[in-house]
Amino acid sequence: MSLKVSISGIRGLYPDDLPEELIVNYINAYCSIQKDGDIIIGYDGRSHGLEILDTVKDAILRSNRNVTNIGLVPTPSIQFLANKYEFAGAVMVTASHNTIEWNGLKLMDHDGCFISIEKFELLKKKYSHFKSSKEKNKKVYLRGKEGHRLYSAEEHIDDTISLPIISRHSISEMNYNISIDTINGGGSTAIPMLLEKLNCQLVQINDRPGVPYPRDPEPRPNNLTDLSNLVKKNSSDIGLATDPDADRLCLVDENGHPIIEEMSLALCTELYCKRITGPQMVATNLSTSQIIDDIANTYGLSVVRTAVGEINVVDAMKEHKINFGGEGNGGIIYSGSHYGRDSIVGASMILSHLSLYEKTISSAIDKLPKYDMVKEKINSDEFDTSKLKSYIKDHYPKAAVNSSDGIKIVFKEKSSWVHIRPSNTEPVVRIIAETPSKQETQELVSEFKEALC
């Protein structure tokens, strides 16, 4: 069984891990912990997403709540709408970057953020109650109403390009030529709409929701061969790639070279640091590149690090009154729009950065600090921290160890580190390492992979 239940949502292979009864019980549990009010729902374009969306809708209605079904939508747009129109919550049917065989549920609170860790623990207890309830087979007729007001990603897009940090006029003057790959997902209509409003010329691939993915849907350089070729063929200024629910963003430069997804947050951090005034901080997770610290420190800003997971970064932003943050997987969070990872905000910030400060995306990347990062994973649900801690104690007694999310080892140079943790979204253990050199990074990953075995 591949079912994963975590603060990042509920995911599994469909339908084996996600039978109707499981979905209904989780939605019943979710409705029981949310404040009174309507729920907004949508999906990311997977062919089986509509089946799950119908199940979700009926379960909400049977919980005596009204529901607004907006269909195909980016996750950040439904988060924005939930917050703007004061819904009691939002449910997004998506497995995010997981492959087409997967699906799942992202559960948001009334402010559009993922439910808190405390609510997540309560959700699991409520789920167990509904799962074992003697009333579960009792026929319950629909009692809520399905709303028909048309909400859409366009409201989110219009709000984004009106943000003070976005230079709509300077972007429009550049008349950028942009290639995009939206992996037949929730961003297939939203990303083109954004770019058209910014006076960009565009060419698009993988823009048919419901069609199987032609590649691994995670927006990482090794998955972007087709987009790279498209950029070269059309002499584009930049290539943009999203994951199926469009909360993550990866780039291809004007020469057709895919750029590691860590640089999406780095470029947005650079813009944020240039545009803001006064003492500020940036929030990101433990697995994100040291580049963020280097950029922030250059402008006199400090960085708050959290456990991996959007809600962990968001909670830190709220606690410390931080306006900007994100994760190195290509997830940009700007509170001026909403507290959630957002490719629409990210693309707008990157184009603003280019239009104001750089001629090309490659020149912008060249000016950033240089590190080498490797991301690998081991197919396993088990993570033996005691064995790893013993290895670290024997081999790296002077290293700094952070055990708040798996184990992160920071070596005395501080620019070299490795982070090992169980995934929130897949049955794997992730190993991420970063050092100043490619050879050193690969050696570090190999060493710790061997130490885990």
Tens digit of pLDDT for each residue in 369-401?
A: 999 999 999 988 778 888 899 999 999 999 999
Beta bridge partners, 407, equal 420
Query: What does the mean pLDDT of the chain come to?
Result: 94
Q: What is the pLDDT of residue 232?
A: 98
| 85 confidence band (pLDDT: 50, 70, 90) | very high
The answer, yes or no, to whether residue 136 has pLDDT greater than 60, is no
- 450 CB contacts (<8 Å, ≥6 apart)? none
- 97 CB contacts (<8 Å, ≥6 apart)? 217, 218, 219, 243, 244, 248, 329, 425
The answer, yes or no, to whether residue 151 has pLDDT greater than 90, is no
| 191 confidence band (pLDDT: 50, 70, 90) | very high
CB 339 within 8 A of CB 333: yes
Among 13-27, 69-83, 144-158, 266-280, name the one with the lowest average pLDDT.
144-158
What domains does the chain contain, in order, with CATH numbers?
Answer: 4-151 (3.40.120.10), 155-258 (3.40.120.10), 262-366 (3.40.120.10), 373-452 (3.30.310.50)
pLDDT tens digits for range 320-368: 999 999 999 999 999 999 999 999 999 999 999 999 999 899 999 999 9
**What is each CA distance from 177 to 57, 181, 187, 280, in whole angstroms?**
40, 14, 18, 34
The answer, yes or no, to whether residue 148 has pLDDT greater than 70, is no
**What is each CA distance from 7 to 232, 310, 340, 423, in whole angstroms?**
39, 9, 14, 11
Q: What is the pLDDT of residue 139?
A: 59
